[in-house]
A and B are shown apart, each in its own frame.
Chain A
Amino acid sequence: MRLPEGGRIDRTKPLRFTVDGIEHTGCAGDTLASAMIANGLLTVAPSTYLGRPRGIFAAGVDEPNALVQLDDPMQLATTVELVDGLAATTLRGKGRLTDEPDAARYDKRNAHCDVLVVGGGPAGVAAALAAGRTGARTILADEQRELGGSLLTENRLLDWLADAVEELDALPETRVLTGTTAFGYYDQNFVACASKTRLWHVRAKHVVLATGAHERPLVFVDNDLPGIMLASAVRQYVNRYAALPGENIVVATTNDGAYGTAFDLAGRVSTIVDSRSEPPAELVNRARELGIEVLAGSTVRQALGTQRIGGVRVGDREIACDVLAVSGGWNPAVHLFSQSQGKTRYDERKAAFVPDKSVQAQHIVGAANAVYDLTGCLDEGFSAGIEAAKMTGFDGEKPAAPYTAREVITDPHPVWFVDGPEGRQFVDLQRDVTVADVRRATGAGMRSVEHVKRYTTIGTAHDQGKTSGFAAIGVIAQLLGAESPQGTTTYRPPYTPVSFALLAGRDRGELHDPVRKTPMHDWHVRNGAVFENVGQWKRPWYYPQPGEDMKAAVLRECRAARTDVAVMDASTLGKIDIQGPDAGEFLNRVYTNAFAKLKVGHCRYGLLCKADGMVFDDGVVMRVAEDRFLATTTTGNAAAVLDWFEEWAQTEWPDLEVWFTSVTEQWATIAVVGPQARVVLAIVAPDVDCSQDAFDFMTFKDAFLADGTPARIARVSFSGELAFEINVDGRAGARVWDAVMATGLPTPYGTETMHVLRAEKGYVIVGQDTDGTVTPQDLGMEWIVSPRKDFVGKRSYQRPDATRPDRKQLVGLLPTDPDELLPEGAQLIAPDTPLTPPVPMLGHVTSSYHSAALERTFALALVKGGRQLIGRTVLAPLRDRTIAATITEPIFYDPEGARRDG
């Protein structure tokens, strides 16, 4: 029922909403739950497993029952802000994902501050004021729409609160984030906070936790009936939302806290059932004055009713009621504190786990620190705010307290559970777990709360045990006859659930991962390239012409390269400028072959291995000057190779004078390949004499192109054909590419053709023909392993496993049927091997193509002792057929190397 006056709702702004399809009206300022209560809707969907009736139980993030589906699969009615047109469906513990796209946009903010205050109740507001006034950069985050915390429940200090909110807003270096939950507290004061669509990464020099406390339920027979609610929730609904859950209320408590509820609802409360034999006289007298009966030393044994509570059994008495407001005590909300590695201890007097030792630069204050009187909360908040500011280099006065009344809070008398019929005293409402379930766990031998949690699933639902966790601990203690509770389960992020989309933020779709493009990318797109992802790069894979499939396109591109001229965009290759007097010496130590004596103007192919001797990367290195080299790397490994160089130079050989600069994007690279390459060069770079005599294989020249563009032209070949690599300033890349294409001669080709051409020559692709277990010797590249010098990894070739004769070695394969393409990844076996698993395997196909030049298929493979098997037949058993092939040398085309000169 909606009370005619009071509350912080705006009665002039009615909002229509539906619950399970039925229309209701609430007010601006309502939560869905308060609006439901105002409309007399207390009951929500039945319980998850047992199907028992359940009602709204709490008023905040600790709600176990009132799960609803909006667009999101699961929300708490108690934390959903009411908006016009809201349509909620109550849920029985399980949400539903729908295909409808999420229109919301999510973003992230990085924020740095001197003082982060989490929680905007009296303690937190006090801390933020104190810190903010010093000029310290202060952030105050509270999960609720309004600051105030329990002040809004208790209707206290609202004027002070209003002033404080205004002042905080006006402080230039203070930022108030309402509707923002600090959900994860990580190392070095990194606190992740979430609002509906924004994720904050807050790095704070100091943190003040003022997260309040959660009220505990009571465990007795049928304690799950609708109408049983936390006492503070009842009070909050009435005072903050003017929503009255019932007319005839009984309060059951173990502590002082619930008296406030009774007093605020005086006239509608008949009885207070207090577990303490001597509740504070002041409270008892006040209750009596208000016409409320106090039953001291009593507990509720059972709730009466079927669909909703109709009364309670206390001792032998039955007392009628339509709401039972329960308070089993308070748990300081130490979730974030514990996440930050703070230690808690059990406080016998307060009957709760309380903060003990902070690990990070942090304070924890107010109810979160088990301080339950308002004066104390404010005082701790102000002190913490000032101290935090001082610790971060600011100074100021501790603000004067707006409230100094002395409240004595008497110790609670906890009741862990009241025994009764099996299976009806609920410990975890959301998981439908009862004392009997806990008893089964302990009976089976479990002692640890962690085991009981997992056996019963207590505390693992949406509410993560905010209400049930401690109840379980108490029940276990009582069942095991322990003197006091033995410890909590681990607090883990997030404090309250966070949507996947929020965590993903902007890293979706187009922005999921950077797409890297070369300077010539647009040309490739315009000319119909199909792209391949290589690392983050987009590389043209092949350029189909109308009517062509991939095979036809690649054969055409290959043919062009072998018989005419073709060009490829090789700009993605990693490039590292290496300078310094010791550059040559450095390269000698990291590459398997020697570089120190390479002549200026010359190029050399090099192989890099990890210290375990396995091939890691390869590329061509040019000597630009006595003390300067330019190394190229594979596209995918560019960053890794630079890191590798830096690591060795800085950490192992700091005495070497050598420096590395990534110039991958300084240069755009165009490979001009084929017997007619010189014709293209003659047009594009007329000043360069590229005749055989003037331009040796594996040398380079710095020159100007026809249009004056400076270029570095290298005669290197990854295809076996006559080839030139034109390197130009990246900004000129597109223009020079256009100039090359404007000659009208070359065919553009992509990575697939590049792979075929190199495979025909037996050149490996690191990562395709190697897999981190392959040595240079395995590849038949002994020639590149210098016997005369040491280099990283060399020692590894003496290990017993590296010298085994049956290591897998790179060989060629020619399928018996020249049209049959061996699938890459096919495993190879010896002929006549029985196909009963495990079938002994000889190796596998690493690369396999149709060759235009060979007019047949061919492949490369790694085969055990493969070099000894040349000429033999092997079989590749596939799902639907078996392919026979002959092992060959891994060079199929122009073994004499005659073609590289054109």
Chain B
Amino acid sequence: MSEHPDRLWRNPEPRAGYDVVIVGGGGHGLATAYYLAANHGIRNVAVLEKGWLAGGNMARNTTIIRSNYLWDESAAIYEHALKLWEGLSAELDYDILFSQRGVLNLAHTLQDVREGSRRVNANRLNGVDAEWLDPDEVRKFCPIVNTSPDVRYPVLGATLQPRAGIAKHDHVAWAFARRADELGVDLIQGCEVTGFRKHGNKVIGVETNLGPIMAGRVGLAAAGHSSVLASLAGVRLPVQSHPLQALVSELLEPVHPCVVMSNHVHVYVSQAHKGELVMGAGIDPYNSYAQRGSVHVIEQQMAAALELFPIFARAHVLRTWGGIVDVTPDASPVIGPTPVDNLFVNCGWGTGGFKATPASGWTYAHTLATGKAHPLNEPFALERFTSGALIDEHGAAAVAH
């Protein structure tokens, strides 16, 4: 398996119409297109991307993959994703550098300990690998974590998902893109959807800067821009767009063997394959589409990082950036139909949708192909905000990941 294949995509001109038009060429849009073609044989598909493919959050995320979510519905879909991740390099014939190095979620308060243990127990019963580590075991698993009891918020333990880890985000996007392209999907870059063609309450196509494109079904996969697009079709979504920042250090000799996340002190970090430390923190509080945030968030993140990892003190921040995350009231996504016929939405993954990419594509493709939810995404419908049947994953999403 080569690092990069010689051929990725064709750069076609858009055709007049497609069976399915997917708006947004991020990880989710590309995976959806691939599974539409691969699982459902629907190949007359276009992915419309206003910028460059996978240039949104897909290019910006800290690549943490795990499935140790609390609620059954979440565990099911994220675990489905994790199983797909485990075979993805082979299936797509592209090395996505999936590294199952284990993810630690640190507990710093007694309540963190209770929540961690609750999650570990739920995970096990849901078939998700999970362990509880005491501070000593934490130190053995990740020797650079400061487990001294004398710090402001000592490490009281951690959950560990051994099968969790990281992958190379760009490779994932390109791998899906290449296979979708091979199967006949048109990946159209520089194509911004600016409106919808409707017939009564039915969407029949989209308006773009490259002209109208007709569509049997339209699937939105625009992450941070979901509200903007949905509002063009007259749909209001329960999402708010916020900046989420991340940063990398210079390349370093290996020091950090796993992924560490801490809700309480607000930081998460891993060391990427090349050697840079990749880290993030919480979202900036205000709404924004600017793909950047405020520097005090980074400063606080660094202070938190040094509490956990004193050895990082002299490392340097090389680059900071921001993405636009679409946050729902319950920190769980929305995948399913909208009140407008033939218009579907996949959004609200907020700070944690990279890990879901294959399962999001899998279930969304099913939904777009059949018009109906897959059992895995059924609970993630818009209706839950009416019924109140939320899937509140704030515990899992208190820190971005």
Contacts and interface: CB of A to CB of B under 8 A. Distances in A.
Interface of A: 48, 71-74, 93-99, 101-102, 184, 186-187, 190, 192, 199, 440, 443-448, 450-451, 454-455, 457, 460-462, 464, 490, 492-494, 497-501, 503-505, 507-510, 512-513, 515, 532-534, 612-613, 767-768, 771-773, 796, 799-802, 823-827, 829, 835, 837-839, 841, 844, 846, 876-879
A800 B124 CA distance: 30
B180 to A, nearest CB: 12
Nearest to B253: A96
Given A440-B6, A445-B8, A500 B251 contact: no
Given A513-B153, A772-B394, A451 B52 contact: yes
- Per CB-CB distance, the 3 closest pairs between chain A and chain B, nearest first, are A837-B127, A825-B117, A825-B118
Contact of B7 (A444, A454, A532, A825): A444
Interface centre among B119, B255, B320 (most CB of A within 10 A): B320
Contacts of A825: 113-121
B6 A443 contact: yes
Contacts of A824: 113-114, 117-118
B215 to A, nearest CB: 24
Given A74-B250, A94-B253, A447-B11, A499 B388 contact: no
Contacts of A500: 249, 302, 305-306, 312-317
Contacts of A510: 152
B298 to A, nearest CB: 6
Given A73-B316, A444-B9, 10 more contacts: A97-B253, A97-B315, A492-B319, A505-B299, A512-B152, A768-B111, A773-B392, A825-B113, A825-B116, A841-B72
B113 to A, nearest CB: 8
B30 to A, nearest CB: 14
B314 to A, nearest CB: 5
Contacts of B306: 500-501, 504, 508
A186 B294 contact: yes
Interface centre among B319, B329, B388 (most CB of A within 10 A): B388
Contacts of A447: 11, 52, 189
A466 to B, nearest CB: 12
Contacts of B51: 448
A838 B75 contact: yes
Interface centre among A443, A613, A825 (most CB of B within 10 A): A825
Interface in B2-58: 4-11, 51-53, 55
Contacts of B152: 509-510, 512-513, 515
A462 B318 contact: yes
A509 B7 CA distance: 52
A235 B213 CA distance: 58
Given A73-B316, A500-B312, A841 B388 contact: no
A445 B7 contact: yes
Contact of B114 (A73, A498, A768): A768
Given A508-B303, A533-B153, A499 B314 contact: yes
Contacts of A102: 313-314
Contacts of B388: 612-613, 796, 799-802
A455 B4 contact: yes
A101 B252 contact: no
Nearest to B254: A94
Nearest to B52: A448
Contacts of B125: 827, 829, 835, 837-839, 841, 877
Interface in B282-323: 292, 294-295, 298-300, 302-303, 305-307, 310-321
A73 B319 contact: no
Interface of A (DSSP majority class): loop
Interface string B220-256: 0000000000000000000000000000011111010
23 contacts: A95-B315, A97-B312, A444-B7, A450-B55, A455-B174, A460-B319, A461-B251, A497-B317, A497-B318, A498-B317, A500-B249, A503-B317, A504-B306, A505-B299, A508-B307, A513-B152, A612-B388, A799-B387, A801-B389, A824-B114, A835-B125, A837-B124, A839-B126
Contacts, number: 237
Interface in B316-340: 316-321, 329
A93 B251 contact: yes
Contacts of B316: 72-74, 497-500
Contact of A799 (B109, B128, B386): B386
Contact of B52 (A97, A450, A464): A450
A512 B110 CA distance: 20
B202 interface: no
Contacts of B302: 500-501, 503-504
B319 A464 contact: yes
Contacts of A829: 125
A534 B7 CA distance: 56
A616 to B, nearest CB: 13
Interface residues of B, number: 82
Interface centre among A97, A184, A448, A505 (most CB of B within 10 A): A97
Contacts of A192: 295
B268 to A, nearest CB: 15
A415 to B, nearest CB: 27
Nearest to A497: B316
A436 to B, nearest CB: 12
A508 B317 CA distance: 18
Interface of B: 4-11, 51-53, 55, 59, 72, 75-76, 108-111, 113-122, 124-128, 151-153, 170, 174, 189, 249-253, 255, 274-275, 292, 294-295, 298-300, 302-303, 305-307, 310-321, 329, 384, 386-390, 392, 394-395
Contact of B117 (A98, A509, A826): A826
B6 A444 contact: yes
Contacts of B275: 94
A333 B313 CA distance: 29
B118 A827 contact: yes
B319 A96 contact: no
A464 B249 CA distance: 12
Contacts of B314: 71-73, 97-98, 102, 499-501
A767 B115 CA distance: 10
A802 B6 CA distance: 55
A290 to B, nearest CB: 42
Contacts of A99: 311
Nearest to A501: B313
Nearest to B153: A533
B20 to A, nearest CB: 22
A877 to B, nearest CB: 7
Given A448-B52, A501-B313, A825-B117, A493 B10 contact: no
A240 B262 CA distance: 49
Nearest to A827: B121
A464 B318 contact: yes
A772 B388 CA distance: 12
Given A102-B313, A838-B72, A844-B122, A512 B307 contact: yes
Contacts of B321: 490, 492
A304 to B, nearest CB: 31
A454 B54 CA distance: 11
A48 B276 CA distance: 14
B7 A504 contact: no
Nearest to B318: A497
Contacts of A497: 250, 316-318
Interface centre among B306, B312, B392 (most CB of A within 10 A): B306
A861 to B, nearest CB: 11
A494 B321 CA distance: 10
Contacts of A460: 319
Nearest to A99: B311
A92 B8 CA distance: 31
A658 B111 CA distance: 35
Contact of A494 (B118, B317, B329): B317
Contact of A446 (B8, B113, B303, B395): B8
Contacts of B110: 532
A532 B110 CA distance: 8
Contacts of B300: 507
